[in-house]
C-alpha cells in the first residue's frame, strides 16, 4: 500500500546549513515546504569547528543576512566570542568570525524551522527519488511517500558517508550519525554525475585534561560586532580560546606511524581539500616547517568538549592520543571523540545552472557540500539561493541569479557552476576580483535592496536600512563640502600622522583620502560632525580612501556587464562554430554558459575563443536580420 | 579605390621553424615574381589560385633563402585580394632580409592589423566572411599556443612564464597571508615586495623596448618631422631622399598628395607622414601651429625635431619641445654658414640624441642613422633576445607594466596591502592573457602549494 504522507511545493533533503536556509527562504516566500533530516538531533549541526565566519566566510554570512537568511542572526544569538580578523591588512580582507555554542546554535535553528509558517520539519531518511509527472516522488526508509513540485538536495557528508580512523572504516555520517546510504542509487539512475570527496575533523578533548597555564590566550574584540544587520542587542564575549604548537616530537610520532593513515595506504579514494589537510598531510607535505599552530576552542557553555583547530587526522586512535600528548598543554589530554576522515558522495556542480537547478532535470536543485563545496557558510549561501529559486519557480517567477561582481555568494556559485572544482571548494577573498567593492562592511548596502525585492526583508528592516543609507549620504555630502582652514591645530594633527601639512583650505573629503589619516584623527578640527554608527564611518573611510581602486573595479564590472548582455542561446552546438578550438568547443558544450561573460570564465576557453564567439554572434544576428 | 600592395612578416617574431612573409594586394603576385625564382622556371603569375611553387628568394643577385611560395587569387584569399605567402626558414635575419627584398620590389610595409582590416572591408559581412576572420583569430591563438609550446626553445613565453611565476608567488603569499590569518604565515617584507615589483617592471620595460625596436626594423616606425617654418625640414627631407624609399599616394601614378613615405634608414624603416606639406610649404609661410604638432606627436613613435642653428630658440620651439613627453626623439640641427645662435645647452638638456646636418656639405647621414637607431632602441635590439609576438602581446605587456607601476605607487602612498594585491593581480591577469590562463585559479593553486594552511 502506498502511504502518501504529504504533498508539497518544495521538499528539501537534509537539514544542515544549506537545507535550513533553503527551507526558511522557500517557506517565507509563501510556498508549502518540507525539510527532511536523518535525525532530529542533527538539525543545524556543526560537526567540525564550533565557529561561524572567518576570512571570506564572514563576508558570506553578512551577505546571507542582507538577503534575509538566518545564519548571521543565529550566530549572534549563540555567540561565545567575536573577532574581526585581518585588521591592519586592509578593508577588503577584514572578516568577522564568531566562536559559537554549537548546541545552542542547533536548538535555535531547529526551533526556528518548527515555528516557521508553511514549513514542516520531518525526521525521515529519503531513500528514493523519482520523477512523478512534472514533480517528484520521494520515499522514506519507512515507506512513507512525499510528493513535491521541486526538490533540493542538501545531503552534506551524509550521502554515502564513510568514516576512516586508521585501518577502521565503516558506513557513517558525521558525529556518529547514520549515513544516508540508499539515495545515491536514485540519483545515479536520474543521471547525475556523482563523485566522491573527503574531509575530516580533529578530536574533541576534555577541558579539565588540558593545562592552559602556559598557553597563549586569545580573547574576543571589545565591543564585539554583530553579524546580522538586524541584531540590536549588545553582544558579549563569553570564552577565551588558546593557542599551542606542535613540535619535533609530534612530527616524529606522526612520521613513525604514517603508514597507518588510510590516506597514505590508499584506502580513501575521495578527493580532500588542500586547505583543510590533516596534520599528517601538513607534516608530510611541508617537511621543513618546524611547528604547526593549533587553536583550542570551547564547543559550548554547557559542555567540557574542546575542539583542536588545525589537528584533523585519520590516524588510528592510539596514534592520535600519542601525538596530541606531545603538544604543550595537551600532555594529559583525554580524547572524548577521536578525529576522523569522512568520505561522501557529491555532484559535479558544472551540471547545474547558476540557479543551482540541474540543467538536465528541471525542478531538481542541489546545495551545500553535495555541490562540492566545503564549509557551513558556503552551504548556507547556496541553500538560500536554491530555496529562493525553487520557491520562485513554483510561483512562476523569474530566475534569481546573483552576480559575481555584486557578491561573494555570486562568486561562489559562478565558480562552482562555471569552473567546477576538483576538491571541496572553500571561499577565499582572493577568489573575488572585486574584493575592494565586495566588503563585509557594505554587504547590507549591496544586497538588502535585492532581499527586499525578493520578499525576505521585512518592511521594518527596510526602513531602518533606508535611514542608514540616508545618514551615510548626508555625511558624505558634508565631508565633500566642509573646508578646513590650514590652522596650526590641523597641521599638528597632519604632521603627527606623518602626512604633509597644508597651506590652504582643504575639504574633509580630500584629507580622508590620505591613507595615513582616519576619521577619528580629524575629530578635534571637525567640531560639527554628527554622531554616527561606527559601521557608517568605516564604510565612508574605505570608500573615500580607496576611491581610485573602487572606480577601477567598477569600470571592470561595466566591461563584464556588457559581455553579460551578449546572451548565448541554450541550443548552440559549439562544435559547429568554426575557429573555436576543440577544447573550447567541448567545454562550452558541457557548461552551456548563459552569456559571453560566463563563457570567458570557463577554464580552457581562451580570449581568442571569446573573440570568435562574439563575431559568430554578431554575424548570426546579421544573418537573421536579412 | 585601388589599395596598395602590402607585406609583412606574419609569423611570430623570434626563433621559429618557419617564417612567412605575406604579400597582399593587386600587385602581390608580380612583386613576388621579382624576388622569387622557382626551380621549375614557372613564374608565379602563370599559376592559378591555391597553387604552390618551390624555389629560391633571389634579390640583387644574391640568394637569400629557399622558399615555398603559395599563391591565392582574389577574391579567394582571406584578404579578398591577391595574396602570396613566401614560406622561408624561420629566424629573424632571414625573414627580415626577405621582407626587405619584397619592400624594395614595390610593396609597402603593412600596418598592424591591416590584413584583417582588408579582409573585413573587401567582402560583404556575410557568414563566410565572418568565418574567415574567426579562423584568422583562431590562427592567432594557435600562434600564441605555439609560442607557449616554445618555452623550451627560449621564446617569449618562457620569459612571461618566469615573470608570472615570480609575481604569482608574491600574490599567493599576500593571499595566503590575508586568507589564512591563523596559519602563522609570515608577513611579506615591504622591501622584498618592492624589489619584486621593481624587477618585474624593469623586465617588462625591456621586453616592450625590444619589441618596439624589432618592429621599427621589420614594419617601420611612424615618424613625424617637426619644426618651425624655414628651419631646414626640407634639408632633412633631401638628406632622407638619399636613402631607399617608397611613396604612397592616394591617387595611383601621381606624386601628388603624398600620404606616407617609407624610408629605410640603416636598420630602421621610417614611415613618414604628411611629407607633402613639408616639401611644398617649407619656403612659403607654413601654418603648423602647436596644435598640429601635438596631433603629430600623438600619432608617432619617433620624432625628428628640426632646429636652425643660426636663430635663437623661441617660444614656439619651446612649446613643441614641451609637447614631446616620452616619445623617442632626435634633435636635428641644421647648420648654416651663419654664426650659431642656438642655445645648444638647452637642446642637450631636452634631447639625448642630437644630429647636425648641413645641406652645403651634405653631411649628417651617418650620424642620423646612428641617432635614429639609438632613439628607437634598434642599436640595442637583439634578435636572439626574447621578443613579444605582436601588438596584442605588446599591449598586454604595457597594461601589465602600468598595473605594476600603480602597485608601486600604492605602496609609496601608504595604501594597505589589499590594494597593492589588486594591482598585482591585474598585472598578472594581463600577463596571463598572453598565455591563456586564469589568474585567481593560479593564485589559489599556489597558496595551497606553497603554504601550509588548514583548519
**Boundaries of every domain in chain B:** 6-143, 154-455
Residue with the three cell numbers 555554542: A101
pTM listed for this prediction: 0.78
Beta bridge partners, B245, equal B263
CA distance B289 to chain A (A): 36
* Nearest Cα residue in chain A from B440: A431
Give chain B's end-to-end CA distance (angstroms, integer): 71
Flag whether pLDDT at A537 surpasses 70: yes
* Cα–Cα distance, B111 to B116 (Å, whole number): 10
Convert A201-246 into a string of H (helix), E (strand) and C (coil). ECCEEEHHHCCCCCCEEECCCCCCCCCCCCCCCCCCCCCCEEEEEC
- For the domain made up of A565-625, the CATH class stated in words is mainly alpha
Least confident range of A196-205, A261-270, B396-405: A261-270
Q: Which of B127, B419, B447 sits opposite A90 (nearest CB)?
A: B419
What DSSP assignment string belongs to B295-351? HHHHH-SEEEEEEETTS---HHHHHHHHHHTTS-EEEEEE--SSPP-S-HHHHHHH-
In chain A, where the domains are located? 3-199+344-454, 204-342, 482-551, 565-625
* Cα–Cα distance, A401 to A379 (Å, whole number): 16
Q: Which of B182, B422, B454 sits opposite A282 (nearest CB)?
A: B454
User: All 3 cell numbers of residue B173?
Assistant: 603569499
* Cα–Cα distance, B277 to B338 (Å, whole number): 26
Give the CA distances from residue B42 to residues A26, A533, B46, B53, B227, in Å, rounded to whole numbers and listed in that order.
79, 87, 7, 8, 51
What does the pLDDT read at residue A88? Answer: 85
Q: Which of B127, B138, B438 sits opposite A603 (nearest CB)?
A: B438
Q: What would the pLDDT profile of A509-527 be if each residue is shown by its tens digit?
A: 999 999 889 999 999 999 9
Query: Is the CATH number 2.40.30.260 carried by domain A204-342?
Result: yes
Flag whether pLDDT at A44 surpasses 90: yes
Q: Cα–chain-centroid distance for residue B243?
A: 21
For the structural domain made of A3-199+344-454, what CATH number should be given? 3.50.50.60
CA distance B413 to chain A (A): 7
Q: What would the pLDDT profile of A140-184 be if each residue is shown by its tens digit?
A: 999 999 999 999 999 999 999 999 999 899 999 999 999 999 999
Taking contacts as CB-CB distances below 8 angstroms, the residues of chain A near B141 are: 581, 606-609
CA distance B165 to chain A (A): 17
* Cα–Cα distance, A37 to A203 (Å, whole number): 25
* Cα–Cα distance, B212 to B388 (Å, whole number): 9
What does the pLDDT read at residue B150? Answer: 44
What does the pLDDT read at residue A200? Answer: 92
Size of interface A-B (CB pairs under 8 A): 157
Taking contacts as CB-CB distances below 8 angstroms, the residues of chain B near A577 are: 134
What does the pLDDT read at residue B260? Answer: 63
What does the pLDDT read at residue B13? Answer: 53
Non-local CB neighbours of A386 within 8 Å, separated by 6+ positions: A18, A22, A152, A154, A355, A356, A357, A365, A366, A367
Peptide bond into B156 cis (omega under 30): no
Tell me which fold the domain B6-143 belongs to. Answer: Gyrase A; domain 2 (3.30.1360)
Cβ separation of A435 and B418 shorter than 8 Å? yes
pLDDT per residue rounded down to tens, chain B (455 residues): 356 888 888 775 544 567 889 999 989 999 999 999 998 888 999 998 889 899 999 988 888 888 899 999 988 887 888 999 998 886 667 787 888 889 888 888 776 556 765 665 565 334 344 444 545 444 444 444 444 344 333 456 677 888 888 999 999 899 888 888 888 888 888 899 999 999 999 999 888 888 787 777 766 788 888 887 777 777 787 777 766 555 544 444 343 444 567 777 777 778 886 655 454 444 333 444 566 677 778 878 888 888 888 888 888 788 888 888 888 899 988 876 677 788 888 888 888 888 888 877 777 888 888 888 888 887 776 655 666 766 667 778 888 999 999 999 999 988 889 899 999 998 998 888 766 555 556 666 666 666 655 43
Three-state secondary-structure class, residue B360: coil
Best of A263, A521, A619 to disrupt the B interface (most B CBs within 10 Å) is: A619
Beta-strand relationship, B221-226 and B268-273 = parallel
What does the pLDDT read at residue B309? Answer: 85
Cβ separation of B134 and A612 shorter than 8 Å? yes
Calculate mean pLDDT across residues A409-433: 93
For the structural domain made of A482-551, what CATH number should be given? 1.10.10.1800
Radius of gyration of chain A (CA): 26
Non-local CB neighbours of B373 within 8 Å, separated by 6+ positions: B266, B267, B268, B379
Sign of CA pseudo-dihedral A516, A519, A520, A524: positive
Query: Is the CATH number 3.40.50.300 carried by domain B154-455?
Result: yes
Amino acid at each position: 500500500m502506498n502511504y502518501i504522507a504529504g504533498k508539497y511545493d518544495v521538499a528539501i533533503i537534509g537539514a544542515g546549513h544549506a537545507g535550513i536556509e533553503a527551507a526558511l527562504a522557500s517557506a517565507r516566500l509563501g510556498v508549502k515546504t518540507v525539510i527532511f533530516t536523518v535525525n532530529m538531533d542533527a538539525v543545524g549541526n556543526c560537526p567540525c569547528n564550533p565557529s561561524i565566519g572567518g576570512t571570506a566566510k564572514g563576508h558570506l554570512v553578512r551577505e546571507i543576512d542582507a538577503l534575509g537568511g538566518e545564519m548571521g542572526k543565529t550566530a549572534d544569538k549563540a555567540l561565545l566570542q567575536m573577532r574581526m580578523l585581518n585588521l591592519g591588512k586592509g578593508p577588503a580582507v577584514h572578516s568577522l568570525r564568531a566562536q559559537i555554542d554549537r548546541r545552542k546554535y542547533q536548538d535555535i535553528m531547529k526551533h526556528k524551522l518548527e515555528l516557521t509558517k508553511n514549513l514542516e520539519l520531518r525526521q525521515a531518511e529519503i531513500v528514493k527519488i523519482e520523477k512523478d509527472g512534472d514533480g517528484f516522488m520521494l520515499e522514506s526508509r519507512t515507506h512513507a511517500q512525499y510528493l513535491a513540485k521541486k526538490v533540493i538536495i542538501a545531503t552534506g557528508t551524509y550521502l554515502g558517508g564513510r568514516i576512516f580512523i586508521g585501518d577502521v572504516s565503516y558506513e557513517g555520517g558525521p558525529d556518529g550519525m547514520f549515513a544516508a546510504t540508499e539515495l545515491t542509487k536514485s540519483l545515479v539512475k536520474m543521471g547525475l554525475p556523482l563523485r566522491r570527496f573527503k574531509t575530516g575533523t580533529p578530536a574533541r578533548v576534555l577541558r579539565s585534561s588540558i593545562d592552559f597555564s602556559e598557553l597563549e590566550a586569545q580573547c574576543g574584540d571589545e565591543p564585539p560586532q554583530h553579524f546580522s544587520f538586524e541584531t540590536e542587542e549588545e553582544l558579549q564575549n563569553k570564552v577565551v580560546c588558546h593557542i599551542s604548537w606542535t613540535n619535533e616530537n609530534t612530527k616524529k610520532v606522526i612520521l613513525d606511524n604514517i603508514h597507518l593513515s588510510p590516506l597514505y595506504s590508499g584506502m580513501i579514494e575521495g578527493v580532500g581539500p588542500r586547505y583543510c589537510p590533516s596534520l599528517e598531510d601538513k607534516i608530510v607535505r611541508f617537511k621543513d616547517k618546524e611547528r604547526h599552530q593549533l587553536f583550542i576552542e570551547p564547543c559550548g557553555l554547557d559542555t567540557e568538549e574542546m575542539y583542536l583547530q588545525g589537528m584533523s587526522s585519520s590516524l588510528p586512535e592510539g596514534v592520535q592520543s600519542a601525538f596530541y600528548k606531545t603538544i604543550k598543554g595537551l600532555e594529559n589530554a583525554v580524547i572524548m571523540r577521536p578525529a576522523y576522515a569522512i568520505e561522501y558522495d557529491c555532484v559535479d556542480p558544472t551540471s547545474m545552472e547558476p540557479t543551482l537547478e540541474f540543467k538536465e532535470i528541471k525542478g531538481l536543485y542541489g546545495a551545500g557540500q553535495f555541490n562540492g563545496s566545503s564549509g557551513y557558510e558556503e552551504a548556507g549561501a547556496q541553500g538560500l539561493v536554491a530555496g529562493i529559486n525553487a520557491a520562485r519557480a513554483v510561483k512562476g517567477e523569474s530566475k534569481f541569479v546573483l552576480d559575481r561582481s555584486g557578491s561573494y555568494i555570486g562568486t561562489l556559485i559562478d565558480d562552482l557552476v562555471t569552473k567546477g572544482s576538483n576538491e571541496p571548494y572553500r571561499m577565499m577573498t582572493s577568489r573575488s576580483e572585486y574584493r575592494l567593492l565586495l566588503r563585509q562592511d557594505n554587504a547590507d548596502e549591496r544586497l538588502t535592496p535585492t532581499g527586499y525585492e525578493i520578499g525576505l526583508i521585512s518592511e521594518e528592516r527596510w526602513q531602518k536600512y533606508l535611514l542608514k543609507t540616508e545618514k551615510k549620504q548626508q555625511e558624505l555630502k558634508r565631508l565633500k563640502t566642509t573646508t578646513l582652514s590650514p590652522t596650526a591645530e590641523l597641521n599638528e594633527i597632519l604632521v603627527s600622522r606623518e602626512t604633509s601639512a597644508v597651506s590652504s583650505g582643504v575639504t574633509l573629503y580630500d584629507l580622508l583620502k590620505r591613507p595615513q589619516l582616519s576619521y577619528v584623527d580629524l575629530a578635534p578640527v571637525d567640531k560639527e560632525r554628527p554622531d554616527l554608527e561606527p559601521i557608517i564611518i568605516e564604510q565612508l573611510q574605505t570608500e573615500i580612501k580607496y576611491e581610485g581602486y573602487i572606480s577601477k573595479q567598477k569600470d571592470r564590472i561595466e566591461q563584464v556587464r556588457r559581455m553579460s548582455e551578449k546572451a548565448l542561446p541554450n541550443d548552440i552546438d559549439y562544435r559547429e562554430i568554426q575557429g573555436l578550438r576543440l577544447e573550447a568547443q567541448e567545454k562550452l558544450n558541457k557548461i552551456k554558459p548563459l552569456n559571453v561573460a560566463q563563457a570567458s570564465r570557463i577554464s580552457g576557453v581562451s580570449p581568442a575563443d571569446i573573440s570568435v564567439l562574439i563575431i559568430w554572434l554578431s554575424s548570426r544576428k546579421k544573418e537573421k536580420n536579412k | 579605390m585601388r589599395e596598395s600592395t602590402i607585406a609583412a612578416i606574419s609569423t611570430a617574431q623570434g626563433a621559429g621553424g618557419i617564417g612567412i612573409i605575406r604579400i597582399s594586394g593587386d600587385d602581390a603576385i608580380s612583386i613576388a615574381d621579382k624576388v622569387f625564382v622557382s626551380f621549375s622556371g614557372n613564374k608565379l603569375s602563370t599559376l592559378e589560385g591555391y597553387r604552390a611553387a618551390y624555389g629560391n628568394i633571389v634579390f640583387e643577385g644574391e640568394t637569400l633563402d629557399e622558399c615555398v611560395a603559395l599563391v591565392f587569387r582574389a577574391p579567394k584569399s582571406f584578404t579578398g585580394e591577391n595574396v602570396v605567402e613566401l614560406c622561408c626558414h624561420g629566424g629573424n635575419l632571414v625573414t627580415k632580409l626577405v621582407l626587405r627584398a619584397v619592400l624594395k620590389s614595390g610593396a609597402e610595409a603593412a600596418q598592424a592589423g591591416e590584413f584583417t582590416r582588408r579582409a573585413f572591408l573587401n567582402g560583404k559581412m556575410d557568414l563566410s566572411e565572418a568565418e574567415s576572420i574567426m579562423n584568422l583569430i583562431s590562427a592567432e591563438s594557435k600562434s600564441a599556443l605555439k609560442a607557449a609550446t616554445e618555452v623550451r626553445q627560449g621564446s617569449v613565453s618562457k620569459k612571461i612564464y618566469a615573470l608570472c611565476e615570480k609575481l604569482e608567488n608574491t600574490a599567493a603569499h599576500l593571499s595566503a597571508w590575508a586568507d589564512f590569518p591563523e596559519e602563522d604565515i609570515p608577513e611579506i617584507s615591504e622591501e622584498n615586495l618592492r624589489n619584486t615589483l621593481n624587477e618585474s617592471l624593469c623586465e617588462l620595460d625591456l621586453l616592450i623596448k625590444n619589441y618596439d625596436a624589432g618592429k621599427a626594423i621589420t614594419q617601420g616606425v611612424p615618424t613625424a618631422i617637426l619644426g618651425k617654418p624655414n628651419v631646414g625640414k626640407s634639408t632633412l627631407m633631401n638628406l632622407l631622399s638619399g636613402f631607399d624609399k617608397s611613396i604612397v599616394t592616394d591617387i595611383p601614378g601621381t606624386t601628388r598628395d603624398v600620404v606616407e613615405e617609407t624610408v629605410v634608414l640603416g636598420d630602421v624603416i621610417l614611415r613618414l607622414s604628411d611629407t607633402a606639406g613639408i616639401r611644398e610649404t617649407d619656403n612659403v609661410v607654413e601654418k603648423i601651429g602647436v596644435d598640429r604638432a601635438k596631433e603629430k606627436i600623438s600619432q608617432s613613435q619617433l620624432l625628428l625635431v628640426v632646429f636652425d642653428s643660426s636663430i635663437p630658440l623661441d617660444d614656439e620651439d619651446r612649446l613643441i619641445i614641451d609637447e614631446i613627453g616620452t616619445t623617442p626623439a632626435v634633435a636635428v640641427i641644421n647648420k648654416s654658414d651663419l654664426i650659431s645662435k642656438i642655445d645648444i645647452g638647452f637642446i642637450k638638456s631636452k634631447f639625448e640624441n642630437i644630429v647636425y646636418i648641413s645641406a652645403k656639405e651634405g653631411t649628417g647621414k651617418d650620424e642620423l642613422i646612428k641617432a635614429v637607431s639609438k632613439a628607437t632602441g634598434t642599436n640595442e635590439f637583439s634578435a636572439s633576445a626574447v621578443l613579444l609576438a605582436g601588438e596584442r602581446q605588446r599591449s598586454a605587456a604595457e597594461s601589465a607594466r602600468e598595473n605594476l607601476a600603480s602597485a608601486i605607487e600604492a605602496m609609496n602612498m601608504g595604501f594597505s596591502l589589499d590594494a597593492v594585491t589588486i594591482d598585482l593581480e591585474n598585472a598578472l591577469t594581463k600577463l596571463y592573457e598572453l598565455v591563456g590562463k586564469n589568474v585567481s585559479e593560479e593564485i589559489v593553486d599556489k597558496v595551497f602549494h606553497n603554504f601550509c594552511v588548514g583548519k
